[in-house]
Amino acid sequence: MTKYGFLGIGIMGKAMATNLLNAGLDVTVWNRTAAACTPLIDLGAKQGKTAADVVAHCDITFAMVSDPEAANALCFGKDGVLEGICEGKSYIDISTVDADTSNAICHAIKEKGGRFLEAPVSGSKKPAEDGSLVFLCAGDQSLYEDAVDALDVMGKKSFYFPRMGQGAQMKLVINMIMGTMMTAFAEGLNLGDKIGLEKTDILDVIAQGAITSPMFQLKGPLMVKENFSTAFPLKHMQKDMRLALLLGDAHGQPLYTSAAANNAYIKARQDNCGDEDFSAVIKNV
Amino acid sequence: MTKYGFLGIGIMGKAMATNLLNAGLDVTVWNRTAAACTPLIDLGAKQGKTAADVVAHCDITFAMVSDPEAANALCFGKDGVLEGICEGKSYIDISTVDADTSNAICHAIKEKGGRFLEAPVSGSKKPAEDGSLVFLCAGDQSLYEDAVDALDVMGKKSFYFPRMGQGAQMKLVINMIMGTMMTAFAEGLNLGDKIGLEKTDILDVIAQGAITSPMFQLKGPLMVKENFSTAFPLKHMQKDMRLALLLGDAHGQPLYTSAAANNAYIKARQDNCGDEDFSAVIKNV
Amino acid sequence: MTKYGFLGIGIMGKAMATNLLNAGLDVTVWNRTAAACTPLIDLGAKQGKTAADVVAHCDITFAMVSDPEAANALCFGKDGVLEGICEGKSYIDISTVDADTSNAICHAIKEKGGRFLEAPVSGSKKPAEDGSLVFLCAGDQSLYEDAVDALDVMGKKSFYFPRMGQGAQMKLVINMIMGTMMTAFAEGLNLGDKIGLEKTDILDVIAQGAITSPMFQLKGPLMVKENFSTAFPLKHMQKDMRLALLLGDAHGQPLYTSAAANNAYIKARQDNCGDEDFSAVIKNV
Amino acid sequence: MTKYGFLGIGIMGKAMATNLLNAGLDVTVWNRTAAACTPLIDLGAKQGKTAADVVAHCDITFAMVSDPEAANALCFGKDGVLEGICEGKSYIDISTVDADTSNAICHAIKEKGGRFLEAPVSGSKKPAEDGSLVFLCAGDQSLYEDAVDALDVMGKKSFYFPRMGQGAQMKLVINMIMGTMMTAFAEGLNLGDKIGLEKTDILDVIAQGAITSPMFQLKGPLMVKENFSTAFPLKHMQKDMRLALLLGDAHGQPLYTSAAANNAYIKARQDNCGDEDFSAVIKNV
């Protein structure tokens, strides 16, 4: 039976590891502060001593940490992933990191004989709990094939792209469309409001037609109530749009409409909405 | 039993009148070229001699013609609606016309004692056939209430707004969001293509996430195949965006993102894509 | 000796007629409220009884009124220009009006055998006083040639375009460039300010280089002092940009950058800066 | 008498060193390929053996190389600036480099006891020959004061900013305004062309008014003739606009209009105009 490791038991990691355990899989967990592991131990998880220890004793180890700095520390730091990896061991980083970080980790893992997959996810807390995440994987194809059953436990769908970095780039493309759609939606709601239409009527009409989407269904009523409690922080959306626009710049793709939307998020950040939900952009269009 | 009239038996009108007949309603039809009425006569419709004749003999008469000029000719022309209207008779114009046209028709009908409702639809040929149109009504509320059963036969949902013109304005707001969403989608697909992602993969990832929409599901695969056969002509989308932007201008609502998208449609018109489907904007972003 | 008429003695008209008189020309003046003519009578002008009277007694009559409504009233109203015009008489409208107004006046004048020239000006109060206006003329070329000496008294330069309406359109093109340049300038000043550069230093560097312009030289120091006293009202600039963008729309010319700038002016109008100088756009970029 | 060094005898460096010599100053020159120094030797310059040698024997050494890589090699390479610098010696880098490069060089120079000034210039070949460059200096103020006489020989004006990096940032702000102005100008010319105005007429009208600038005067006639021979490469303008937009992003300054202009340059690069003059953007607006 495949032994799975899971490093990083935050909101997302806890939900994902819980789903692995509920599926009856063998899971060893580790977190920088060990207390976070307790609920998983209660569900049958084993406690790893260090990240290196988990990687050395498991076949496939997942990691889910908050940012590139944390991902680097986890891999290259004392008692980190690199100290445990060797031929026959595999590492899958689910964290969202930039291409340079991802490539550096990949390179180091492969030098030690291990296999590596980047697997950033689309979806936040609720999809993680429901097992309905979407995984955007790139890197070692044989590892993807070995891991796909576990990914299917944690998500509803996974994609494999052949070139390292493509998982992260796909996520940027999707988020750029999402951010521009949200700005279009916000402009429409504000225009309707100015000309005397009820925002709730606009939502009702949208819900009946070709442009309805889960995002509009979920965020629309909250936006009307000016409830911007954070699911995806505006400053992160703006960062993703900046990175997507720079990809366009580097590859000669003009992005007039997305660039206009990006400026709306910059304006919103300037007005101290960076930590609110990205739908708060409606206050600045 | 209420007697319904239907003026204008084109692609949309034929589908709508067919649904009224299939529901067992009493329908008298008229078209500028009478031959278009034959299939409906076969389904049990009565043939009206003139538009005026239909209006005079029916309780509620619907009209569905192609543009403001046709709507004006139908109302004010020889043997037109105005010659048949009087107290106790009602007229519902489903055509998409500008506010000035709508108001002029409304005024003339009311002067003769009749009731008027503007009722532009969201949805094209297929929803008309399926009875899944959405009606955006404004004008006489008592007429809306008397007509709602027939509207429910032809559509899945109808909305009533109290002020004349609001039906048409709601449609502009929705179409502005739609046009900008399409441009965002097109920019994302083209960016993905430039950086080496497959467009079909991008569609698959979108289909799994929060931004999926019937429009992306329907248009996406056609856009990948560069099939731009016309459902909604690009030049009409651009016209609606222009009108929506002018509403924003008149009411002091900046619309940076939608204005950028509008320019993409203008560029596409310049490149002779005006008669293609509006999704052809992808060739110009 | 050519007899000149001048209708409309406002700020601009007074300055222009004064220059004609100072050049020793024969000038008959008329204004809706006669008192405005007094200073010109003191300089040697004759007082006309009505607009029709001035046109009938002079060879070439200039008019300078505030908007299309006033221009129409002056031409078509009681005791108006049309009542005095006939073969051998000429009328030059310096007012800034739309193409439809200009064409209607032109048509009526020609029907009566008169000659017509539209001649909107570039420049405001100070250039009018200094005789440094720029005239953008279109219409009857023989009249332009007969009038050019008088135009040269009031301005430093005049242009003749063959097609009616081109004078007004040239003005829109120039003002669109001006409005977008101002927005670019404002964005640069605000960006500099955010990153710790002194706005006055930026002005000094600009003044030394290839992008210096009379507009930056004049407006820059006022903008730094947040002095937005009105030379050209922001709402008029926004109107001109809207009209220029609609020309682009009608002729298939995308105008992404100017459309973005237009939105900055719309935003400024929304923030109640419409009556300030157009340089107040800096508060909204 | 102050001894000056000059490293990097390209098009710009040759013109600047020539002006120093013509002013009767003591100048020692060095270039990677020594032959480039010959015309200056003929004018009375001394030939330095290495960059280190020049720095060690002169009081103030200027450097003008093409990019950050060359600037780094010149400073940190074998026989480079660092090997000659010591207390009492000064180094002024006129090359346009990024803030990181500038800071690294500054740090290394100061560690050895030398003084450092960054001094990027505004102006290209002709202003260099005419001695009408503008220097944007930042770094050691006492060095600025010691060097200002020599700077005044090579330029018409120099500015001193207290914080390292501000010289380069000022240049980005100016170039962003310049790039957006050019796009506005191009949109206006193309719009005029579409509606039947002669581009040369538009240039004439602009030349008479408030928005005239040396850039429009110089580039306008060339653009009308579609002569885009390179003075400032389009790809460099686009790079500067990207960097300026990233400054705005980092400091919370939305830049809607400049972002739209930036996309026009990206589009132009995509159409293989990157090596043409930046005025070639007119082909893509």
Which region among B44-53, B244-253, D231-240, D271-280 has the lowest average model confidence (pLDDT)?
Answer: D231-240
Give me the pLDDT at residue D66, please. Answer: 82
Supply the ipTM of this predicted assembly.
Answer: 0.89
Based on the fold, state whether residues D42 and D129 are members of the same structural domain: yes
Per DSSP, C48 falls in state P
* d(C-alpha C117, C-alpha C104), whole Å: 12
Residues A202 and A135 grouped into a single domain = no
Report the amino acid identity of residue A237. M
Sequence-ordered list of residues with C-beta below 8 angstroms from that of D145, at least 6 positions apart, any chain: none
Q: Which of D109, D135, D164 is the last residue of a domain?
A: D164
Look at residue C11 in the predicted model and tell me its pLDDT.
87
Cβ-Cβ contacts under 8 Å between A and B: the total is 209
Quote the CA–CA distance of B245 and B252 in Å, as a whole number: 10
Identify whether residues C21 and C109 lie together within a single domain. yes
Spacing of C-alpha B89 from chain mean position: 24
Output DSSP code: residue D283. Answer: G
Q: What is the mean pLDDT of residues B8-21?
A: 96
Point out the domain boundary residue: A101, A131, A163. A163
Q: Do residues C68 and C96 lie in contact, with contact meaning Cβ atoms separated by under 8 Å?
A: no
Full DSSP string of B46-82: EEPSSHHHHHHH-SEEEE--SSHHHHHHHHHSTT-HH
- β-bridge mates for residue C5, sequence order: C28, C61
My answer on whether C151 and C242 are in the same domain is no
Spell out the alpha helix ranges (H) of B195-285.
199-207, 214-224, 234-250, 256-270
Chain segment B199-236, per-residue pLDDT in tens: 999 999 999 999 999 999 999 999 999 999 988 889 98
Cross-chain Cβ contact B256/C263 below 8 Å: yes
Is there a contact between A263 and D242 if contact means CB atoms under 8 Å apart?
no
Which CATH number do you get for residue A275? Answer: 1.10.1040.10
C54 and C160 co-located in one domain: yes
> Are both C25 and C153 inside the same structural domain?
yes
Percentage above 70 pLDDT, chain C: 100
Please report residues of C whose CB lies closer than 8 A to that of D208. 122, 134, 156-157
Strand partners, A2: none
Band of pLDDT at residue D78, cut at 50, 70 and 90: very high
What tens digit of pLDDT does each residue of D83-122 get? 999 999 999 999 988 888 899 999 999 999 999 999 999 8
Nearest C-alpha neighbor of D67 from the set D96, D94, D93: D96
Residues in chain C: 285
Q: Do C211 and D215 touch (CB under 8 A)?
A: yes
Q: D82 and D201 share a domain?
A: no
Both D185 and D120 in a single domain?
A: no
Distance of CA A205 to the CA centre of its chain: 31
Give me the pLDDT at residue D100, please.
84
Out of A126-130, A199-203, B23-27, B80-84, least confident range:
A126-130
Contact C15, C39 (CB under 8 A): no
Residues B106, B10 within the same domain:
yes
Q: Within this chain, do residues C158 and C179 fall inside the same structural domain, yes or no?
A: no
| C-alpha span between C82 and C104 (Å, rounded) | 12
Yes or no: say if D228 and D280 are a contact pair by the CB < 8 Å rule.
Answer: yes
- For residues B112 and C225, give the distance between their C-alpha atoms in angstroms, rounded to a whole number: 62
Q: What is the pLDDT of residue B20?
A: 98
Distance CA B85, CA B94 (A): 17
Domain boundary among D115, D148, D164: D164
Which residue did the predictor score with more confidence, B168 or B224?
A: B224
The arithmetic mean of pLDDT across residues B132-158, rounded, is 96
Confidence at residue A68, expressed as pLDDT on a 0 to 100 scale: 86
Point out which residues pair with B136 in neighbouring strands. Answer: B159
Closest CA to B57 of B44, B47, B66: B47
Q: In degrees rounded to 5, what are phi and psi of residue C55?
A: -60, -40
What b/e string do you get for B149-179 counting C-beta neighbours within 10 Å, with b at 16 or more? Answer: ebbebbbebbbbbeebbbbbbbbbbbbbbbb
**What local confidence, expressed as pLDDT, does residue A232 receive?**
86
Could you tell me where the DSSP H helices lie in A112-233? 125-130, 141-154, 166-194, 199-207, 214-224
With beta carbons less than 8 A apart as the criterion, state whether C37 and C31 touch: yes
With CA atoms as reference, the chain D residue closest to A263 would be D254
What mean pLDDT is predicted for residues C272-280?
A: 96
Q: Is A174 on the interface with B (CB under 8 A)?
A: yes
Average model confidence (pLDDT) across chain D: 95
Q: For residue B10, which amino acid is it?
A: G
Partner-chain contact B256 A263, CB within 8 Å: yes
Query: Residue D117's domain is classified under what CATH number?
Result: 3.40.50.720
User: D92: domain range?
Assistant: 3-164
pLDDT at B231: 85
Quick: pLDDT tens for A211-260: 999 999 999 999 999 999 988 889 989 999 999 999 999 999 999 999 99
What pLDDT band is residue D189 in, cutting at 50, 70 and 90? very high
User: CA triplet B19, B21, B23: central angle to 5 degrees?
Assistant: 70
In the predicted model, is pLDDT for residue A123 greater than 90?
no
Report the pLDDT averaged over residues A157-173: 93
Partners of A158 on chain B (C-beta within 8 Å) are: none
For position B123, what pLDDT does the model report? 83
Express as a percent the part of chain B with pLDDT over 70. Answer: 100
pLDDT number for residue B56: 97
Cβ neighbours of C156 in D, within 8 Å:
208
In the residue annotation, B49 being an active-site residue is answered as no
Mean residue pLDDT across chain C: 95
Nearest-angstrom CA–CA distance, C175 and D132:
32
CA distance A255 to A261: 10
Q: Are residues C131 and C233 in the same domain?
A: no
User: What is the model's pLDDT at position C56?
Assistant: 97
What's the token pair of residue D34?
Answer: 């020594």
By three-state DSSP, how is residue B132 classified?
coil
Q: Is C27 helix (H, G, I), strand (E, B) or coil?
A: strand
Q: How much is the average pLDDT of C11-28?
A: 96
Do B30 and B160 sit in the same domain of this protein?
A: yes
Kindly report the pTM of this predicted structure.
Answer: 0.91
The Cα B49–Cα B233 span in angstroms is 33
Q: What share of residues in chain C are helix, strand, coil (percent, to 5)?
A: 55, 15, 30
The pLDDT value given to residue B208: 92
In C, minimum Cα distance to B251 occurs at C270
Going by pLDDT thresholds of 50, 70 and 90, the confidence category of residue C234 is very high
Q: How many domains does chain D have?
A: 2
User: Under an 8 A CB cutoff, do C249 and B264 touch?
Assistant: no
Nearest CA-CA partner of D62 in D81, D44, D76: D81
- Output the pLDDT for position D31: 97
